[in-house]
Amino acid sequence: MQETKTTTALNRSLGFWSALSLVVGTVIGSGIFFKQSSVLDSAGSTGMALLAWFLGGVITLTAGLTIAEVGAQIPQTGGLYAYMEALYGKFWGFLSGWMQIAVYGPAIIASIAAYLSILLVGFFHLNAAWQAPLAIGVIIIIGALNMLDNRWGAVFQIVTTLGKLLPIVAIIIFGLFYGDQNAFSQSIATVSHSTGNFGVAILATLFAYDGWILVANLGGEIKNPQKLLPQAIILGISLVLIAYTLVSYGILHFIPAATIHHLGQQTTVYFAQSAFGTIGGRLLNIGIIVSMVGCLNGKIMTFPRIVYAMARRQQLPFSHQLAYLHQRTHEPLVATTAILIYASIMILFFNPDRLSDLCIFTVYCFYVAAFVGVFLLRRRNPATKRPFSTPGYPVIPLIAILGALFVIVSEIGSDFPGVLLSLLIVAIGIPVYWIKQRHSA
């Protein structure tokens, strides 16, 4: 494996609380606040919508338990990219990395920033024309923070993770004690002729649950990753599953189904103002903004590590530049800048809902292969002591695989042109790989 020579290395300085805050912080962001309407529209009723949120969490938890075993045995910078390379060879490792930097990473950063700008425009009563500039400005500011020592980004992640507990707790408490007791018998059939289905509803929740695996991108910067990575992933996903189910219960319990359908992305803003009044609603919205900023920080902190890991192996165009680490901060400045530029372009030309669905579809195609990796590693190394073993093996990995296949098939049936577009972008990586291989031979 050819790598560029460098005297500067990533800092292995992140502990358990930093890793846990990255899992929780990169998961709890825009999805739980902006996907209530789309989940309800696809599910068809409030009861099925709540079930979709719960099952999305269960699928994510089984995925986390499965990946935790793989990650504990391959504790390298790059996460899914490193796992795919170790399991299936350089080509599939490259393609999974390419998928993350060409579709998944920039698209998810762009979608979260776009959702955040919608909230900021409403909060400050600005013209809608400010949405794109605000979204780009936010990612530039957070990107600049992550060009400092990684401890600054980690501290910011812990602070924003604690800050986002305010809207989560407020929505849960209010939703549990107020609202319509018959809320979960409501259907939106009379006001919406949805083209989605229950699988698409679960797919929408998976965007909200996404981000848990990104902490694995920092495997080279976490102390004792064989132990801490599984702990952070499993505890983090479990906390988010509980929080998301209760938040969704609160919103669906308080706001009529027809109202949620008509409000769309403004559902949570409406909830805040209706439940807590003008001042309380604005305070709650500040908490939601903090939550989304923290989520965006986690994404921007982790995705450039994939670019850096691939560039060190001379697998990308301009690898020498992309593999650069600042000698004092030990941060991949060029890789971070490249991701931010790409995400900014997506903000200008794509809808955030479409971006979020496509990025989840592409990453789950590779998740399936990574889940199968648990069986491969046990067969290859039967006598090797594992730092972490997936509980309930082989049932839990099988549930993760079947859940991932379910949402993949659902998205293919729901948005086949979009699926083809995302797969085409991934396929562009194939000639890139062979060209780089030929030059390095």
Report, in angstroms and rounded to the nearest whole number, the Rg of the chain calculated over CA atoms. 21
Other beta carbons within 10 Å of 328: 9
Cβ atoms 108, 356 nearer than 8 A: yes
Residue 5's pLDDT is what? 44
Q: What percent of the chain has pLDDT over 70?
A: 88
pLDDT tens column, 234-285:
898 999 999 899 989 888 888 888 888 888 877 877 888 888 888 877 887 8
pLDDT tens column, 327-383:
776 778 899 999 999 999 999 987 776 777 777 788 889 999 999 999 999 999 887
CATH of domain 16-440: 1.20.1740.10
Q: Does residue 84 carry a pLDDT above 50?
A: yes
* Token pair recorded at residue 318: 């301009």
Report which of residues 305 and 138 the model is more confident about.
138
Query: Which of 20-29, 218-227, 301-310, 363-372 has the lowest average pLDDT?
Result: 218-227
Residue 399's pLDDT is what? 94
Instruction: Kindly provide the b/e burial profile for residues 187-209, where b requires at least 16 CB atoms within 10 angstroms of the residue's own CB.
Output: bbeeebebebebbbbbbbbbbbb
The ranges assigned to domains in the chain are: 16-440
Q: What mean pLDDT, rounded, does the chain reach?
A: 82
Q: Which one, of 106, 117, 103, 102, lies nearest residue 293 by Cα?
A: 117
AA letter at 123: F
Which of the four pLDDT bands, split at 50, 70 and 90, describes residue 211? confident
Query: Which of 123-127, 254-258, 324-328 has the lowest average pLDDT?
Result: 324-328
Report which of residues 222 and 80 the model is more confident about.
80
Overall residue count recorded for the chain in this entry: 441
Cβ atoms 163, 290 nearer than 8 A: yes
Show Cβ contacts of residue 255 under 8 Å, excluding neighbours closer than 6 positions.
263, 267, 270, 271, 274
Q: What percent of the chain has pLDDT over 90?
A: 24
Local structure of residue 130 (DSSP, 8 states): G
Q: Which one, of 291, 304, 252, 245, lies nearest residue 112 by Cα?
A: 291
What is the Cα–Cα distance from 67 to 77, expressed in whole angstroms?
15
What is the Cα–Cα distance from 265 to 128, expressed in whole angstroms?
14
Burial class (CB in 10 A: 0-12, 13-18, 19+), 416: exposed
Q: Does residue 192 carry a pLDDT above 60?
A: no
Asked, as a colleague might, if the bond just before 394 is cis with ω within 30 of 0, I would say yes
